[in-house]
A and B are shown apart, each in its own frame.
Chain A
Amino acid sequence: MISARGLTKTFNRTIHAVKNVDLEVDAGEVVVIVGPSGSGKSTVLRCLNLLEIPTEGEVIVDGFDLTDPSTDIDSVRTEVGMVFQQFNLFPHLTVLENITLALKKVRGKNKKEAIEIAMEQLTRVGIPEKAESFPRQLSGGQQQRVAIARSLAMNPKIMLFDEPTSALDPEMVKEVLDVMLKLAADGMTMVVVTHEMGFAKAAADRLVFIDEGEIVEVGLPEEIFNNPTHQRTKDFFAKILY
């Protein structure tokens, strides 16, 4: 479903954020990317829907070569949902309008169809009663669930999560992770950058450990947690698990 080869991203010709990363994600697979802050894990994720344009390498998503200039990136992006750390809901629109905007403008749905789909997805994330609210009126956890619903409404083949719980108050982390777990159980192809090791254990088919822009280790979550083979991986888990 996703195939990145030799992916490299350099900022300002001097900062090597991602170095020669190869990553394959099959349909229905849940891949969790972990690593220290500044390790380039978010940059890898953002290259997968071309929010970041790679400096080198190729990224093939759903059969489309993203680095080929003739690829219509807008149409690929409709198949790749993205959830951000800061939610990025549109503050001037209601929850319902947030979700229906792209349905109407991109999918060409009429108002009635769009609202129907939006309500369906809001029910899926558990907050249909907030349809008429503005994002500011919601808690962080609710906002992030709306953001997930907004992506899901486009019926994407892949979902990308960029530290979806890092900006949340502790008591709201679970409600978002629950939605993600359900999504994983439903067979969604997911790439998740997170620090939630509990989620990785529960949902990940594969764990990817990235440090200094390189993939250091790949494997089953349990294996890497319990028997990390590289020193850098050991150091990382020694710092975060207690």
Chain B
Amino acid sequence: MADNKSKKRRVRDSRPWWDTFPWWGVIVLALLGWMAWQISFNSNYELAWDRIWPGLRVTIRATFQSFGIALVIGLLVGMGQLSKNVFLRNIARTYVEIIRGIPILPLIFVVALILVPQVSDVINLTINFEMRATVTLSIIYGAYMAEIFRGGIQSVPPGQSEAGRSLGLSRRQTMNSVVLPQAMRAIIPPLGNDFIAILKDTSLLSVLGVLEITQRARQFSASTFKFREGYFVVAFIYLLLTLSLSVLLSVLERRMTRDRQGER
């Protein structure tokens, strides 16, 4: 005991504050602050801002619409993949495999410029480009979400549905009251990530000339030759949106982890 002080021992104190401090947050906030300052006090940036931010409405509308439709497709296709019906199961699987295998950009062209016109010829209905692109994003993220739902449902141990069925609950009752509520814990975090990903991918609507923020930035830069100002502003808007969303998400996740430990 006496030579405790002199001898080096493999013991560990808790980590010092500077080791655990979220420095990245300071850097990000500084960056955002600097961007905001530029936009507020530099007239070129101000000009870009005024031209670009009206597109935010389109960006946000497309994000929510795509996410909503994708959620429905994802749940249906995800359950379809787990269906007992051979036909349903294989249709669902085919859909997921094909859509996941094509990059978003070419798929937007295929859907918006080939498939939608063909369908609208038949049913005699004109669909604007924003809607076409939104539908494409929904189809793509529907396939991604189908995998999330399938994985979430499969993450619930089979003993849970056996217990439900043993009590006389029907398949549907067991799914709704026992399996899905537990699957949600595995489903919600990746769904949140997909929401952020959709928000970013609405920038691809610009290739169809839809006037969301990226397209407005392109137009502004091309007509004024102020590329730095235009793209800086659009990057700032995306960053602001995605960062606030991910903060929201981590709060949600923390709340769910607490539930999982059974505290109230």
Chain A positions within 8 Å of B, measured between CB atoms, are 49, 51, 74-75, 77-78, 80-82, 84, 86, 88-92, 101-102, 105-106, 133-137, 147, 150-151, 154
Closest to B179 in A: A90
Q: With a CB–CB cut-off of 8 A, which chain A residues contact B165? A: 51, 74, 77
Given A86-B159, A88-B162, A91-B182, the answer on whether A135 and B262 have CB atoms closer than 8 Å is yes
Closest to A101 in B: B177
Closest Cβ of chain A to B136, distance in Å, is 36
Interchain CA distance A44-B71 in the complex, whole Å:
41
Closest Cβ of chain A to B25, distance in Å, is 33
The residues in B between 178 and 216 inclusive whose CB is less than 8 angstroms from any CB of A are 178, 181-182
For A82, give its contact among B157, B160, B166 (CB under 8 Å). B166
> B145-175 CB contact bits vs A (8 Å, 1 = yes)?
0000000000001011011111111100100
Q: Would you call B159 and A154 a contact (CB within 8 A)?
A: no
Q: Is B128 close to A, CB under 8 A?
A: no
Q: Would you call A105 and B177 a contact (CB within 8 A)?
A: yes
Interchain CA distance A88-B157 in the complex, whole Å:
9
Q: With a CB–CB cut-off of 8 A, which chain A residues contact B181? A: 92
Closest to B173 in A: A105
Q: Is B261 close to A, CB under 8 A?
A: yes
Query: How many B residues are at the interface, by size bracket?
Result: 20 to 34
Q: 9 closest pairs, A vs B, by CB? A: A134-B262, A78-B168, A88-B163, A102-B167, A82-B166, A136-B262, A88-B159, A106-B168, A77-B168
Main secondary structure of the interface of B (DSSP, over half): helix
For B261, give its contact among A89, A136, A150 (CB under 8 Å). A136
Q: Would you call A84 and B159 a contact (CB within 8 A)?
A: yes
Interchain CA distance A81-B260 in the complex, whole Å:
27
Q: List 18 A-B contacts (CB under 8 A).
A: A74-B168, A74-B170, A77-B165, A80-B166, A81-B166, A82-B166, A86-B159, A88-B159, A88-B160, A90-B178, A91-B262, A92-B182, A101-B177, A102-B164, A106-B167, A106-B169, A133-B262, A147-B163
Closest to B170 in A: A74
Closest to A50 in B: B165
Closest Cβ of chain A to B256, distance in Å, is 11
Q: Would you call A101 and B167 a contact (CB within 8 A)?
A: yes
For B163, give its contact among A90, A105, A106, A137 (CB under 8 Å). A90
Q: Would you call B169 and A74 a contact (CB within 8 A)?
A: yes
Q: With a CB–CB cut-off of 8 A, which chain B residues contact A80? A: 166
Q: Would you call B162 and A51 a contact (CB within 8 A)?
A: yes
Closest to A89 in B: B163
Interchain CA distance A139-B181 in the complex, whole Å:
23
Q: Would you call A77 and B262 a contact (CB within 8 A)?
A: no
Closest Cβ of chain B to A75, distance in Å, is 7
Q: Would you call B167 and A90 a contact (CB within 8 A)?
A: no
Q: With a CB–CB cut-off of 8 A, which chain A residues contact B157? A: 86, 88
Q: With a CB–CB cut-off of 8 A, which chain A residues contact B163? A: 82, 84, 88-90, 147
Closest Cβ of chain A to B185, distance in Å, is 8
Interchain CA distance A147-B164 in the complex, whole Å:
11
For B167, give its contact among A77, A86, A137 (CB under 8 Å). A77
Q: Would you call A49 and B166 a contact (CB within 8 A)?
A: yes
Q: Would you call B168 and A154 a contact (CB within 8 A)?
A: yes
Interchain CA distance A18-B157 in the complex, whole Å:
24
Closest Cβ of chain B to A236, distance in Å, is 27
Interchain CA distance A125-B159 in the complex, whole Å:
22
Q: A86-B157, A154-B167 are in contact. List 4 more A-B contacts (CB 8 A).
A: A106-B169, A106-B173, A134-B262, A137-B262
Closest Cβ of chain B to A29, distance in Å, is 21
Q: With a CB–CB cut-off of 8 A, which chain A residues contact B262? A: 91, 133-137
Interchain CA distance A119-B162 in the complex, whole Å:
24
Q: With a CB–CB cut-off of 8 A, which chain A residues contact B167? A: 77-78, 101-102, 106, 150-151, 154
Q: Would you call B162 and A84 a contact (CB within 8 A)?
A: yes
Q: With a CB–CB cut-off of 8 A, which chain A residues contact B178? A: 90, 101
Closest Cβ of chain A to B178, distance in Å, is 6
Closest Cβ of chain A to B155, distance in Å, is 12
Q: With a CB–CB cut-off of 8 A, which chain B residues contact A74? A: 165, 168-170
Interchain CA distance A185-B167 in the complex, whole Å:
23
- Residue of A51, A80, A102, A134 contacting most chain B CB atoms (<10 Å): A102
